[in-house]
Structure 1
Amino acid sequence: MSLDLEHVTCPMQRYPAPRSCPAPHIAGELEKLKKQIRVQEWKIAAVFSQLEDTINNTDVVPRNISIAKKDSSWDDDGSERNILLVGSTARSGTSFIGEMLAKLEPSIYFFEPELYLRVVTQEKVKEEEGINLMEDVFACNFPNNFTSWLLTRSRSNIIRHPVTWKCEGGEPTCLSTPVITQACQQEHVRIIKAIRLRMSWMRRLLENDAVDNLKIIHLVRDPRGSLYSMDKNHLHKLDTAYFCPRIHDDLTHLPQLLAQYPKRVFSLVYEKFCLDPFGEARRLWRFLMDNSSATLPSIWTQYLTKKTNDENNGKKTKVYTTRRNSSTQYQEWRNTIPDHTFTSIERDCANAITALGYNLFGNIENTRNLAIPLFMDDKTLKS
């Protein structure tokens, strides 16, 4: 008897699962088994890829791959080649900011490449491996088996660039090492979104002379909103004992880096960006351009106009979409967060919440009362 693992889709439930679904503990074991199989698949693919390279003794970019050049807002402003690292914890707005940055061409956008390490090690990303991988990606020097791992993802999931949008030769052609290396090396800006790196690790990158063109954009969000979103959408198990100290540690190191590297480290507050997207985007652009009077590029104006006023026709917003009605999104969690989830997050993340300047509500009744401001000082919204 064989088991079709690819069609086992029942999520882990907090309530009795339908009869057609396996028991939660069995589903968990099946998910682990599926991950192990995927690891072996890309390892086998890597072996075959290496054998083909040996036999053919060639590593040529396929002729059907071409990378069109377009007008560049970066070049028009006379900026130098940049590496932009967007970091935070999950569900803190990094996808929105990363996508906005990638609207500026020529650029290449790497979406959470550190996932590669999770697959390789089957462990959480550690400092040494995480920093080494970032340095490799910055330099367009991709680790062995990295491109084979890409083939286990959907096309343009990790690397977002014209070569992955239009792929006439199939995914193995688009995601081959020579193709992504060429695309990475030729683009004016390399953008990396990573949510599994800590701010305490960033000093090593900033002190590395080989990446002196690196700029770090760090997002912060009320943990009650971000952790609830992770839990609600089954992205991570609600583990406040794990996440809360890491969020607070990031906030402890962030002011030091901002003071020491004012032209290379930038901080965005998710809630402030939701309330004033054009003003915060302008502040970010001026940081990137190192020009206090630089005007917002038109492509960002168009992007923000489209993305921050979208009501989605009353339909439920998908988990990973970057469309939001930003004026209400920032504290929407207050209306729906369960009492036990709120209590757990506010208890364990109290230091991070107050460090960000947010009010501790104490109970679910105060949380639901939107007359009680999110920020301790309403002036925070106007700063």
Structure 2
Amino acid sequence: MLRMKMLRKCRRNVFMFLIIIFIYIFFFFTRWNIIHKPISDTEFNSVGVNEYHNKGRSGHFTSVPAGRQSKINVILIASWRSGSSFTGQLFNMHQDIFYLFEPLRFLGQEKVKQDETTEVLEAMYKCDFENSLLSEWIKQTNIDVLHRVSSNALIELCPKEITQGADPGPCTRRIYKQCPDLTPENVTHACKKYPYKFFKVIKLTDIKFLEEVVVKHNVKIIHLVRDPRGIHFSRQNSYDVRYTVNNNLFGMYWTCRHVSEIVNLTDRGTKWLQGNYKRIRFEDLSMQPLQTSIQIYDFLKIPFTGKIKQWIVENTMKKNQTKTTKKKCNHKLNKKSSDVAHAWRLNSNLTTVLEIQNICTQAMQSLGYLKVNTEQELRDISLPVMLSRTEMEVQ
């Protein structure tokens, strides 16, 4: 009798233990599913702007205490008129990011002097703007106000009585010309307050020499690429004399060649780039701005904020209603991005498109851009001219 009671008790204990194990496994896989479920633009849009600044991808509220953020350095590389100004603003709007707009331009107008780039980047990532290497950068940034008004961190160094009521950005640069000159000391002090440094660079045609900077300073590379046909269309409308007068296809051969060289380097599995490089197509960012932006922030391990989400909604999902009689602002960002992605198809001629496709065959193939062969294919917007991310698996 005693043995039977002990046996029943043992069975109950085993049964309860199995139930507990089952419940634990159920909740474990449920939570795993939530954390790793991809977020669509529609799902993200349903989250309130004021709530999302503390919300992570898991759907649970998170926050990073002040002073606890990991120091992360980023360089965004892109070709001229690839959508880099728009992409850069996705990070300039982040309150914890020290963002600089084309800080290497003072090293060369056509392309940066790559033998000097490493030293300059190291000084900037260390916030050493009192370094003599950066004296020319300070000087040129004070002269060319575009580089100052494109960085919220530098705008903060201008007195509030000057900037109050003015929208920051290149289209209101006249107001910011009244700001006192930047100094090596105040830029250094400002830079050190930010845990993340993000520099947007164009005309950086080779990345092999960045290995030392990437390894020593925890630098992540975002490589922004764009359909060469879209780049050409954008350059045509940039009012750049070099492009509109001198040569109708100025630089397209070299643009595509340099992109192909970087793509080939990264696709070979170069060790120092593993986990430090991400390629983004401008068209993906334009068509799915929220989802793609979240993926970039996830890669960088920088918290995505409600302010970024709000900026995306206001600058990519609404048609620009601003009316002005002034000269067109070439850096205007508040456009409906889905309209921008393939606008070139309605505003270019087939002969030019075919020529670009011939020049840029290798780059287009490696990035998943599809050729058109007839006038009908060019104008039919329902006909895709690029592989989807699922088909292409863009890095």
Residues in 2 aligned to 1:77 and 1:310: alpha-carbon distance in whole angstroms:
36
Q: Of 227, 231, 236, which residue of structure 2 is paired with 1:222? A: 227
> Per the alignment, do residues 321 and 75 of structure 1 end up closer, same or farther by CA in structure 2, a change over 3 Å counting?
farther
User: Secondary structure of 1:228's partner?
Assistant: helix
Q: Is the CA contact (8 Å cut-off) linking 1:84 and 1:216 kept in structure 2?
A: yes
> Per the alignment, do residues 378 and 288 of structure 1 end up closer, same or farther by CA in structure 2, a change over 3 Å counting?
closer
Q: Which amino acid aligns with 1:85?
A: I
Q: Is the CA contact (8 Å cut-off) linking 1:111 and 1:160 kept in structure 2?
A: no
Q: Is the CA contact (8 Å cut-off) linking 1:167 and 1:174 kept in structure 2?
A: no
Partner of 1:352: 363
Residue deviations 1:12-61 (CA, integer Å, cap 9, x gap):
xxxxxxxxxxxxxxxxxxxxxxxxxxxxxxxxxxxxxxxxxxxxxxxxxx
- In the TM superposition, 1:1-383 aligns within 5 A as 75=65, 78-118=68-108, 124-142=111-129, 143-154=134-145, 156-157=148-149, 159-161=151-153, 162-166=155-159, 173-201=180-208, 203-209=210-216, 211=217, 213-235=218-240, 237=243, 238-256=250-268, 261-289=273-301, 296-313=304-321, 318-376=329-387, 379-380=390-391
Q: Which amino acid aligns with 1:240?
A: M
- Deviation of 1:280 (Å): 1.0
Q: Which amino acid aligns with 2:207?
A: S
> Per the alignment, do residues 322 and 332 of structure 1 end up closer, same or farther by CA in structure 2, a change over 3 Å counting?
same
- Deviation of 1:191 (Å): 1.3
Residue deviations 1:255-301 (CA, integer Å, cap 9, x gap):
346875443222211111222111111211211228xxx7x421222
Q: Is the CA contact (8 Å cut-off) linking 1:85 and 1:216 kept in structure 2?
A: yes
- Deviation of 1:131 (Å): 2.9
Residues in 2 aligned to 1:257 and 1:185: alpha-carbon distance in whole angstroms:
34
Unaligned stretches of 5+ residues in structure 1: 1-70
**Is 223-232 or 131-140 further displaced after alignment?**
131-140
- Deviation of 1:339 (Å): 3.6
Q: Is the CA contact (8 Å cut-off) linking 2:214 and 2:220 kept in structure 1?
A: no
TM-score by length of 2: 0.67
Larger Rg: 2
Length, aligned pairs only:
304
User: Secondary structure of 2:284's partner?
Assistant: helix
- Deviation of 1:226 (Å): 1.4
Q: Quote the RMSD (CA, aligned, Å).
A: 3.2
Q: Is the CA contact (8 Å cut-off) linking 2:222 and 2:277 kept in structure 1?
A: yes
**Bigger relative contact order, structure 1 or 2, given CA contacts below 8 A and separation 6+?**
2
> Per the alignment, do residues 117 and 225 of structure 1 end up closer, same or farther by CA in structure 2, a change over 3 Å counting?
same
Q: Is the CA contact (8 Å cut-off) linking 1:228 and 1:341 kept in structure 2?
A: no
- Deviation of 1:308 (Å): 1.1
> Per the alignment, do residues 208 and 310 of structure 1 end up closer, same or farther by CA in structure 2, a change over 3 Å counting?
same
Unaligned stretches of 5+ residues in structure 2: 1-53, 55-61, 163-176, 244-249
Residues in 1 aligned to 2:291 and 2:270: alpha-carbon distance in whole angstroms:
20
- Deviation of 1:331 (Å): 0.7
Q: Which amino acid aligns with 1:83?
A: N
> Per the alignment, do residues 107 and 371 of structure 1 end up closer, same or farther by CA in structure 2, a change over 3 Å counting?
closer
Residues in 1 aligned to 2:209 and 2:373: alpha-carbon distance in whole angstroms:
34
Q: Is the CA contact (8 Å cut-off) linking 1:164 and 1:174 kept in structure 2?
A: no
Q: Is the CA contact (8 Å cut-off) linking 1:272 and 1:381 kept in structure 2?
A: no
> Per the alignment, do residues 363 and 246 of structure 1 end up closer, same or farther by CA in structure 2, a change over 3 Å counting?
farther
